[in-house]
């Protein structure tokens, strides 16, 4: 029970932080993607600022150029104690919640866009503050494509 309360409190705090910045209307629809011939490419990655011991999120476009789907099996980042893929959902009480996507599958020949208010990579237990101008290193491990390490600049949403 305690854990549930803790979890709800975490969601609530995160929503407070994140609801101030849901301006994700930029660029959507204007980007044209060129799928790689094979494997996975990551484009347009960025991370939001965060406090030490707090949370941040990485947003990116995931391009699966393979004809086969691929599964994300592990996420890690040196700046975070815990990294998870999250989806945002309607809790039905006028609030949005978020929850972990356990075994995310990315269809072949498709682009998956992660953005505020949708799919995102959650960085938790930050071991250092993330300020604008910093860079975050993130490693994604896929069943087929293997390990892909990227760097994402830290910036405020809408900039």
Binding site for Cu ion (CB under 5 A): 86, 98, 122
- Rounded to 5°, the CA angle 28-102-11 comes to 70
- Nearest approach in angstroms of CB 88 to Cu ion is 8
> Which residues have C-beta within 8 Å of that of residue 96, sequence separation ≥ 6?
15, 88, 89, 90, 117
In angstroms, what is the minimal distance from the CB of 57 to Cu ion?
A: 6
Q: Cβ closer to Cu ion: 48 or 86?
A: 86
- Shortest Cβ distance from residue 37 to Cu ion (Å)? 32
Nearer to Cu ion, 41 or 55 (CB): 55
Report, in this order, helix, strand and coil percent for the chain, each rounded to 5: 10, 45, 45
- Nearest residue (beta carbon) to Cu ion: 86
Which residue lies nearer to Cu ion by CB, 122 or 154? 122
Q: What values do phi and psi take at 100, rounded to 5?
A: -75, 140
Which is nearer to Cu ion, 98 or 136 (by Cβ)?
98
């Amino acid at each position: 029970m305690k854990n549930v309360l803790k979890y709800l409190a975490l969601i609530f705090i995160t929503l407070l932080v994140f609801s101030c910045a849901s301006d994700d209307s930029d660029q959507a629809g204007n980007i044209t993607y060129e799928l790689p011939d094979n494997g996975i490419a990551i484009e347009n990655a960025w991370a939001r600022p965060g406090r030490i011991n707090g949370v941040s999120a990485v947003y990116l476009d995931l391009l699966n150029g393979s004809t086969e789907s691929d599964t994300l099996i592990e996420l890690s980042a040196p700046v975070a104690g815990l990294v998870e893929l999250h989806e945002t959902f309607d809790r039905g009480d006028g609030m949005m919640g978020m929850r972990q996507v356990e075994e995310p599958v990315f269809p072949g020949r498709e682009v998956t866009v992660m953005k505020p208010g949708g799919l995102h990579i959650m960085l938790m237990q930050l071991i250092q503050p993330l300020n604008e101008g910093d860079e975050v290193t993130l490693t994604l491990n896929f069943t087929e494509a293997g390990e892909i390490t990227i760097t994402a600049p830290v910036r405020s949403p809408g900039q």
